[in-house]
Amino acid sequence: MARVVLITGCSSPQGIGFSSVRALAQAGFKVHATVRDRSHVSALRDGLEDLVDVHDLDLLDEASMRTTVDAVVTADGRLDVLVNNAGYGLIGGVEQVRVEQSRANFEANFFGTVALIQFVLPVMRRHHGGHIVNVSTIFAAGLSPPAIGFYIATKAALEAVSQSLAIEAAPWEIRVTNFQPGPVMTELSREWGDRLSAGEDPRPTLSDELYDWIARGDAPAPQSPAEVAEALCAIIRSRSPGLAAQSGQAAQAYVDAALRDHARAAELAALLAEFGTGERSVS
């Protein structure tokens, strides 16, 4: 019997979710994909119609979550794997982002994801088994670079709760993995911090500095969505998935270095050397 996967955030052909749906279906899984935008559903299912079903789901709407989980169980009788991929980025420095923007980011990336996990857990317990995979980021395991601290905070919070869940759900053979890709070449929806006007902003180029840093290769080299999807499939196929897993060797090396630096001294020094002068900023 094919294992049944529910994966969120699959609207964009340039995204991790879209690539993962197709990779999982091609590997023989029955995949239920969720979207907020149906523009690319035909391409998502192309040639895989018998293995891919599509549902409308919004992480801010618990009714849509309940409806989706019920539909999966009705169609296939079980739900073996939940991949929490949906979410969006929030870009801007701590002074640049409005608190309301950060709160909204937590509502989607953290609280909405936790709500979906809570809907899925009873299904997995009934069948005494399951695997919950949270798409996080390597930066949740180390020091947050500038301009993405609030976004990383949503992922770090989700990882912390999931670490507790891994222990709580173990008696039912439900496993939990925090999947940590490096930078990915996607069209991840981003909201830009806008608390300060251009004339008031002490570091208006901070976001550009972040992307320059990634592009130069000082961070792990960006991966394609297809590469990340392949790594995600390997984790789901694994008989013993870990609590944390990265999307490739470069991501693993980055996390290894961060974990060895207990005081975060070397990591902080490197980021200060890159971003700490403010030379490209308006004083």
Catalytic pick among 88, 151, 211, 254: 151
CA dist 231 → 68, 235, 247, 248, 270 (Å): 26, 6, 5, 7, 28
- Give the separation between CA 81 and CA 124, rounded to whole angstroms: 9
Annotation says 254 is catalytic:
no
- Give the separation between CA 91 and CA 190, rounded to whole angstroms: 7
CA dist 195 → 20, 92, 165, 199, 211 (Å): 35, 9, 35, 12, 20
- Give the separation between CA 50 and CA 29, rounded to whole angstroms: 11
- Give the separation between CA 6 and CA 69, rounded to whole angstroms: 8
Structural contact between residues 79 and 6, judged by C-beta atoms closer than 8 angstroms: yes
Q: Which residues are known catalytic residues?
A: 151
